[in-house]
Amino acid sequence: MTNSPAADPANSPQATDQATGPATDPATPSTATQPPAPPRRTPLTGVHEKLGASLTDFAGWLMPLRYGSETAEHTAVRTAAGLFDLSHMGEFAVTGPDAAASLDYALTGEPSALRPGRARYTMICAENGGILDDLIVYRLADEEFLVVANAANAAVVGAALADRIQGRDAQVSDRTDDYALIAIQGPRAAAILANLTSADLAAVKYYASYPAQVAGREVLLARTGYTGEDGFEIFAAPDDAEHLWAELSRAGAADGLVPAGLAARDTLRLEAGMPLYGNELSADLTPFDAGLGRVVKLDKPGDFVGRRALAERAQAAPQRQLVGLTSQSRRVPRHGYAVLWDGQPCGVVTSGAPSPTLGVPIAMAYVRPDVTVAASNSGPGTGRLAVDVRGTAEPATLVELPFYRRPA
């Protein structure tokens, strides 16, 4: 039994190497001859080891892939709650009188329009409009923002932010090592958390954040997530991480809370139709390609990095469209497989997995816009739309994203 190269579990969830910073610059080849650094540990890696997790090197961090069955972890998040260690995420503080204006210039969104205590999903793009990373920006105070970046892109984001605020009265500092990040996600998340905090959770709206005490520790509590469920992300001091993890686990045990790894996180976000950098997002694509043009605030005042290219792209006819596919075959479309229309390549799968919730394989793919029109018109079951699964055309059906929406 041998893994096919297109779907090596070591790459899954797709740890991206696409972050092109100084380390991959041909002018600095010295890194190639040095042995790779051992992956970094989070404040909770020891806890995961005690729990018997399968650990994997993800973007340079030793992270839990699964604790037992990733399908059971996925289902627990959909029906009860799951606990995630996200301490590998990059955190950058942007502070100072010009912090808001600096971020308006550096990012595609308009953080200056956020009220303190609110957060927004946004992107950081290159001058040519290519996506460097997708981010969540929290406004903590008038002159204080927290930018959360993907681990694989943290160095690129940090460098770009530092570069883009030059000449302004603002500072960027890398706070990744100052925060442990624990997410509790699922329909029971709020009820479980309520046992450990006097904070009024009903007042913490989706994409809001505020300082709170959880299990006696000062944290930043945010109602954000990457699973398609209600839930919270808890930014805490690294020294408090084990205490919080233990208290949350204890408080949630009766409600079915389980620790959940990156494998479940990937299938949860895929069902929820959420893009993953390195799969749906890359430096070769703009937010418009990914159907996320709404994060580009072309009407905000002042210039921002990528404005000209993105304004052009907003007017241009799209060359590709991000779509959802389901398969009636049990063979799973995987990252990199070709999408076929009448047997001819018309796109590529960016993410695919057997969906625990739907019970069939699901995938996101970039396809030619004329094909999405034709496939919508011709309806399912014609067999004209297919995915090349290792040499066999497996019929696929075009579906609306997301694959899963939580019950209201």
CB of 2: closest distance to other proteins in angstroms? 5
Which of 256, 354, 369, 395 touches other proteins by CB under 8 A? 354
C-beta of 335: minimal distance to other proteins in Å?
A: 10
Instruction: Supply the minimum distance, in Å, between the C-beta of residue 71 and other proteins.
Output: 4
Task: Identify the residue among 148, 353, 386, 396 touching other proteins (CB under 8 A).
Answer: 353
The gap between the terminal CA atoms of the chain, to the nearest Å, is 44
Q: Which of 390, 400, 405, 406 is in the footprint of other proteins by CB under 8 A?
A: 390
Positions 263 through 282 that interact with other proteins (CB under 8 A): 263, 266-267
Give strand ranges (E) for 142-238.
144-149, 171-174, 180-185, 209-214, 217-222, 231-236
- Asked if 387 is part of the footprint of other proteins (rule: CB under 8 A), the reply reads no
Query: Three-state DSSP class for 397?
Result: strand
CB closer to other proteins, 8 vs 299: 8
Q: Does 357 bind other proteins (CB under 8 A)?
A: no
For residue 220, give the nearest of 164, 275, 182 by alpha carbon: 182
Between 283 and 332, CB nearer to other proteins? 332
288 contacts: CB under 8 Å, gap ≥ 6:
296, 310, 313, 314, 318
H-state helical runs in 83-234: 99-106, 154-164, 189-194
Token output for 200: 């009024």
209 neighbors 105 (Cβ within 8 angstroms): no
CB nearer to other proteins: pick between 57 and 143: 57
Going residue by residue from 40 to 79, which x/- string records binding to other proteins, judged by CB under 8 A? --------------x----------xx--xxx--------
Q: Rounded to 5 degrees, what angle do the CA atoms 265, 271, 273 make?
A: 100
Tallying the residues shown for the chain, one arrives at: 408
- For other proteins, the closer CB: 66 or 223: 66
Counting Cα atoms < 13 Å in the Cβ hemisphere of 349 gives: 30
Q: Minimal distance in Å, beta carbon 4 to other proteins? A: 6
Q: Give whichever of 14 and 321 is closer to other proteins, judged by the CB atom.
A: 14
CA 75 – CA 190 distance, rounded (Å): 17
Owner of token pair 């799968």: 349
Which helix (H) or strand (E) is 192 found in, with range? helix 189-194
Toward other proteins, which CB reaches closer, 65 or 161?
65
- Contact criterion met (CB below 8 Å) for 336 and 364: no
Number of residues this chain uses to bind other proteins (CB under 8 A): 26
State the nearest-atom distance from the C-beta of 9 to other proteins, in Å.
Answer: 5
Q: What radius of gyration do the chain's Cα atoms show? A: 21
Among 330, 391, 407, 408, binds other proteins (CB under 8 A): 330
Whichever of 318 and 354 has its CB closer to other proteins, that residue is 354
- C-alpha closest to that of 73 among 243, 256, 264, 315: 264
Does residue 334 interact with other proteins by CB under 8 A? yes
- The verdict on 1 binding other proteins (CB under 8 A) reads yes
11-30: contacts with other proteins (CB under 8 A): 12-13
For residue 115, state whether it binds other proteins (rule: CB under 8 A): no
Contact 76, 186 (CB under 8 A): yes
Looking at residues 210 to 269 of the shown chain, list those that interact with other proteins (rule: CB under 8 A).
263, 266-267
Residues 128-187 that bind other proteins (CB under 8 A): none
Amino acid, res. 145 = F
Taking the complex as a whole, the smallest distance from the CB of residue 69 to other proteins amounts, in Å, to 5
Q: Which residue number, 122 or 351, has a Cβ lying nearer to other proteins?
A: 351
CB of 224 to other proteins, least distance (A): 25
Residue closer to other proteins, measured from CB, 11 or 171: 11
| Cis before 238? omega within 30 | no
State the angle between helix axes of 70-79 and 262-271 in degrees (0 to 180), rounded to the nearest 10: 50
The residues binding other proteins (CB under 8 A) are 1-4, 7-9, 12-13, 54, 65-66, 69-71, 263, 266-267, 330-332, 334, 353-354, 356, 390
